[in-house]
Amino acid sequence: MAPSANAPAQADAKANPLDSLIAMVADDLKAVNRTIVEQMQSPVALIPQLAGHLVAAGGKRLRPVLTLATARLCGYEGAGHVLVATCVEFIHTATLLHDDVVDDSKLRRGRESANAIWGNEPSVLVGDFLFSRAFEMLVDHGDLPTMRLLSRACATLSEGEVMQLLTANDIETTRDAYLDVIRGKTAALFAAAARAGGMVAQRPEAELNALSTYGMNLGTAFQVVDDTLDYSAEQAALGKEVGDDFRDGKVTLPAILAIERGSDEERAFWQRCLGDQDIHDGDLEHAMELMRRHNALDDAQAQARAYVEEARQALEVFPDNPMRRILLDVADFSLERAF
């Protein structure tokens, strides 16, 4: 059946569920974008300038979109979710600024990173400003459980990032340690973003837990796929560089699987590249070849699929409706491409 003119969301859903989700919360997202611009103002002009550089670069606003979407899924009809979604985006932006300093990244969202343009110092400080402003906004929102949720998520984020530093260059990193890292650095904020929408709608604990589970598993799948794409040549066609994790000595799931299944000689190769970061021409291609040989990328993708399944199951406590369907589709879609 051809999509009818009055069901554009469903038509889009077949092309790209994430864009459909964004379309379904378009007005709310515009309000979030306005609030972002308002709230990043400061008499110190460099602050909105630097923060605006990152914000203007776009990104899908995936985390605030989750908050907006789950609030609507829960039948919320007010406007309080806009402030909370903006806080979520500020927290995310602050962590991106600090991550780029920590990773010494030169590119972010296809543009020069803030630290590459202005140096590390203002990136650290503007990140701090955005964290602080997020809490100021939460105080205005006035809901203690939401404040507890998001301050906890921030602490978990930094714990995940520190764990990532500690597992870097360590080819003995276990799958469990990897999972702790990505739950902390990525999935915890997805979980909090999803739960926050339900909290604005004042839903019962069982539904809030379902939203946390959805967000946590979606975020975990999202990060596993991201880590897989870092070794998949097709990614080059999408305009991102392949092999960043390899060069940074980050020990991600595809590498862990290849190392587990590799010979002693292969293990020495991984130690030299990821452990000692002594990398030469052709090493990335050899790493990708080892991953193919040991089915590491496919198995990592299968693992991501399992998380997606858990995310989907969590939403069963909600009645069937267009928003739930899109959120289910978005979970599936996380396996198909990076966003």
Residues that bind a copy of itself (CB under 8 A): 42-44, 46-47, 94-95, 98, 101-102, 120-122, 124-129, 131-133, 135-136, 138-139, 142, 144, 147-148, 151-152, 154-155, 157-159, 161-163, 165-166
Taking the complex as a whole, how short is the minimal distance between the CB of residue 155 and a copy of itself, in angstroms?
4
Contacts 24+ apart (CB under 8 A), 200-207: 200/67, 200/71, 200/74, 200/76, 200/78, 200/80, 200/81, 200/84, 200/143, 200/146, 201/70, 201/71, 201/74, 201/75, 201/76, 201/81, 203/74, 206/317, 207/74, 207/317, 207/318
Taking the complex as a whole, how short is the minimal distance between the CB of residue 251 and a copy of itself, in angstroms?
16
Taking the complex as a whole, how short is the minimal distance between the CB of residue 105 and a copy of itself, in angstroms?
12
Identity of the residue, 188 or 211, whose beta carbon is nearer to a copy of itself in the bound complex: 188
Taking the complex as a whole, how short is the minimal distance between the CB of residue 96 and a copy of itself, in angstroms?
12
Q: Which backbone phi and psi does 303 adopt, to 5 degrees?
A: -65, -45
Closest CA to 122 of 64, 60, 57, 54: 54
Contact (CB, 8 A) for 22 and 339: no
Identity of the residue, 118 or 339, whose beta carbon is nearer to a copy of itself in the bound complex: 118
The number of helices, as runs of H, and strands, as runs of E, in the chain is 18, 2
Identity of the residue, 143 or 309, whose beta carbon is nearer to a copy of itself in the bound complex: 143
Identity of the residue, 42 or 271, whose beta carbon is nearer to a copy of itself in the bound complex: 42
Identity of the residue, 84 or 94, whose beta carbon is nearer to a copy of itself in the bound complex: 94
How big is the CA angle at 35 (ends 31 and 41), to the nearest 5 degrees? 155
Taking the complex as a whole, how short is the minimal distance between the CB of residue 63 and a copy of itself, in angstroms?
16
Taking the complex as a whole, how short is the minimal distance between the CB of residue 296 and a copy of itself, in angstroms?
27
Identity of the residue, 158 or 202, whose beta carbon is nearer to a copy of itself in the bound complex: 158
Contact (CB, 8 A) for 108 and 240: no
